Amino acid sequence: MVGTAGHPCPLLEMPPPPGAAARSSAPPPAPPPWSRLPDRKFRFPVADAHYVCHYLEGDTVLARSSELHVLVEELRLPRPDLSVLPGHEVAVGAEVMFRCTITQPSTGCFLYLEGQIRAQLFPREQGSYNFSLVQKGDRGRYSCQCFIFNAPAEWSAVSNTLDLAVRDYTLCNAVRLALAAGLLLLLGLMVAEAAWSRDQ
């Protein structure tokens, strides 16, 4: 996989497939300025640029990604604090309120759910975001980030993270009732057996 930018930037290249080095007579490339992470992820210094990546088989491009614009900005605002009510563990169908608190006035804030591309915008007047009737799909790790629309915009660092667990207590209660009914049935059979033994 090769990553390129709209202007000079670090080059990302996946290691060649087994046997490819033996078929190539070109000298080995210089060590890249990035570190490889699991799951085809890379860490390297970025510039304010447009990035793309593509798959190579030999010198043939098999597939190319969409363009990604990375905007590099200094984080000038104080780090916000994220809290959740009524707590970190709620039942399916409950109402949950996230609050992103920052000391800087007149800011907007985004609520992030890890693994999701879209972010939720906190209402500017309230500084909180409400979930009504949460579902299991709402569970996960949340964080928030605040900004001011200046020219250019100013951002804060990302807040602390919070894990929200959504439990289906209806299913748990049904299992408990079934176990209780089974236990009562077993006790009834034992009492009936004991009474029958006395009569014999």
Per-residue model confidence as pLDDT tens digits over 17-75: 444 444 445 555 555 555 556 666 667 777 778 888 877 788 888 888 888 887 777 78
Contact between 109 and 80 under an 8 Å Cβ cutoff? The reply is: yes
Per-residue model confidence as pLDDT tens digits over 110-131: 999 998 888 888 876 667 888 8
Q: How many residues are recorded in the chain?
A: 200
Residue 190 resides in a domain: no
Residues 122 and 54 reside in one and the same domain = no
Residues 100 and 57 reside in one and the same domain = no
Expressed in angstroms, the distance from the first to the final Cα of the chain is 83
Residues 58 and 79 reside in one and the same domain = no
The CATH code of the domain that includes 164 is 2.60.40.10
CA distance linking residue 97 with residue 85, whole number of Å? 5
CA distance linking residue 118 with residue 71, whole number of Å? 17
Residues 39 and 84 reside in one and the same domain = no
Which residue range forms the structural domain that includes residue 81?
75-170
Average pLDDT, the chain: 76
pTM of full prediction above 0.75 = no
Last residue of a domain, one of 16, 48, 70: 70
